Amino acid sequence: MDTVTAPGLIAGSLTTLSFAPQVVRAWRTRSTADLSFAMLVVFLAGVLLWIAYGMVKEDVAILAVNIVTAVLIGLILSLKTRNG
Amino acid sequence: MDTVTAPGLIAGSLTTLSFAPQVVRAWRTRSTADLSFAMLVVFLAGVLLWIAYGMVKEDVAILAVNIVTAVLIGLILSLKTRNG
């Protein structure tokens, strides 16, 4: 834990795990019309950049939270693409 | 720029600005049923923790991106509360 200390890790876990209920909701309802496509795409781009940053900095915490976030946003985006 | 360098700042800007199109969409359509309330609340909690972290670390970059994010998520949350 060099660049991210415990409070940062808790904050990062919250912002990452927050997308889990959105995945569940989108999966159950198959309704994603109210989700902004631009939000999902730009957010995913930012998260992928965080992953690249984590790789260069060799920071496992940044890598871990952002890989999980990328998977969750990817799931929401694929549901959005399918259901509109 | 001690803990967050340029690539991190770009990544942070993307993940922050991504919520702007969601605010615009929710404002225009007044339809937020597909947005997970739990996602918004947990995400906001994480962002507020990031702000506290930025204050303790006296990190202007972390503070800036997270204050803007908190405002945008707050707007979406208030529209969600009003429109269901």
Interface of A with B (CB under 8 A): 3, 7-8, 10-19, 21-22, 24-26, 29, 31-36, 38-43, 45-47, 49-50, 52-53, 56
* Pick from A10, A21, A45: CB nearest B36: A21
pLDDT tens for each residue of B69-83: 999 999 999 999 999
DSSP string computed for chain B: --SS-HHHHHHHHHHHHTHHHHHHHHHHH---TTS-HHHHHHHHHHHHHHHHHHHHHT-HHHHHHHHHHHHHHHHHHHHHHHH-
**What's at A14, amino acid-wise?**
L
**Residue B76, in any domain of the structure:** yes
Query: Is A1 inside a domain boundary?
Result: no
Residue A70 lies in a domain: yes
* Cβ pair B22, B74 in contact under 8 A: no
Model ipTM value = 0.87
Domain harbouring B72, CATH code: 1.20.1280.290
Q: Considering the domain boundaries, does residue B1 fall inside one?
A: no
A77 falls within a domain = yes
Looking at beta carbons, which residues of chain B come within 8 Å of A38?
18, 21-22
pTM of the model: 0.89
Nearest to A34 among B17, B35, B39 (CB): B35
Beta-carbon separation of B8 and A53 below 8 A = yes
Provide the number of structural domains found in chain A: 1
The residue-averaged pLDDT of B56-62 equals 85
Q: Which residues, at least 6 apart from A34, have a Cβ–Cβ distance to it below 8 Å? A: B25, B26, B29, B31, B32, B33, B34, B35
Domain that holds residue A27: 6-83
- The shortest C-alpha distance from A64 to chain B (Å) reads 15
The predicted-structure confidence for A26-75, as pLDDT tens digits, reads as follows 999 999 999 999 999 999 999 999 999 889 888 888 899 999 999 999 99
Nearest Cβ partner for B34 among A3, A19, A31: A31
